[in-house]
Amino acid sequence: MNNGNLFDLSGKVALVTGASRGIGEGIAKLLAQHGAHVIVSSRKVEGCQAVVDDILKAGGSAQAIACHIGEMTQIEAIFSAISEQHGKLDILVNNAAANPYFGHILDTDLSAFEKTVDVNIRGYFFMSTLGAKLMKASNGGAIVNVASVNGVIPGDFQGIYSITKAAVISMTKAFAKECAQFNIRVNALLPGATDTKFASTLVNNPKILEQAMAHVPMKRVAKPEEMAGTVLYLASDASSYTTGTAINVDGGYLIG
């Protein structure tokens, strides 16, 4: 904490998954603006490098490392690289997610089920265990899991995705409870409808969008960068006594 600025991340090493675009890109850029060295990660390194270039142009510090969190070998490889290059990890933002199936829950096939579970549950779990072990070795850190309002109220035709996001909320609490003794805080962000490629099924369908906005008091879709401020709070000393919580950033959707 420098100069009494609770949001200062100078000297911190942060890993953001799914950071080549959308919400992850917004998070990576904001953490870098506040002084963190950001490891920008997603499945393809080219997209990550474009975000890194933007951060460097703006005077920040960042690097790109590819990682598909649905693959255990890649999860192990990225933490091995971080350990060798930096010797520590202060901030982990689990943002990469899979949502391959949009349709009735009864028609969910095994392939879509496995892909969604492998990334959204197994991926988040083992990213968190390996990340927390690195944090434990250097006296603590902060993990932020990007879940979804669909983890609270299942989204229409997004059954298995919603189930995995409910699991992420539960996982956040379980890790928070057991890792507090190591000075590791674990919290979740619950985005509402956000204008990203990931949410294009919703955002680009006028009929579905109109139905969705009927339940959002603010009557609009979020911009990806509107999610980043909450993650900055949860990753910084501003939230030093906050753990195990899930913060809705949803334009009021969950008010009901």
Q: Print the SS3 string covering the chain.
A: CECCECCCCCCCEEEECCCCCHHHHHHHHHHHHCCCEEEECCCCHHHHHHHHHHHHHCCCEEEECCCCCCCHHHHHHHHHHHHHHHCCCCEEEECCCCCCCCECHHHCCHHHHHHHHHHHHHHHHHHHHHHHHHHHHCCCEEEEEECCHHHCCCCCCEHHHHHHHHHHHHHHHHHHHHHHHHCEEEEEEEECCECCCCCHHHHCCHHHHHHHHCCCCCCCCECHHHHHHHHHHHHCHHHCCCCCCEEEECCCHHHC
Q: What share of the chain in percent tops pLDDT 90?
A: 90
User: pLDDT tens across 1-14, in order?
Assistant: 445 799 999 999 99
Residue among 124, 161, 233, 253 flagged as catalytic: 161
Least confident of 21-25, 105-109, 132-136, 207-211: 207-211
The mean pLDDT value for 17-29 works out to: 97
Residue 202 has pLDDT above 50, yes or no: yes
Domains of the chain: 13-250 (3.40.50.720)
Q: What percent of the chain has pLDDT over 70?
A: 98
Whole-model pTM: value is 0.96
Q: Label residue 207 by pLDDT band (50, 70, 90).
A: confident
Please confirm, yes or no, whether 161 is among the known catalytic residues: yes
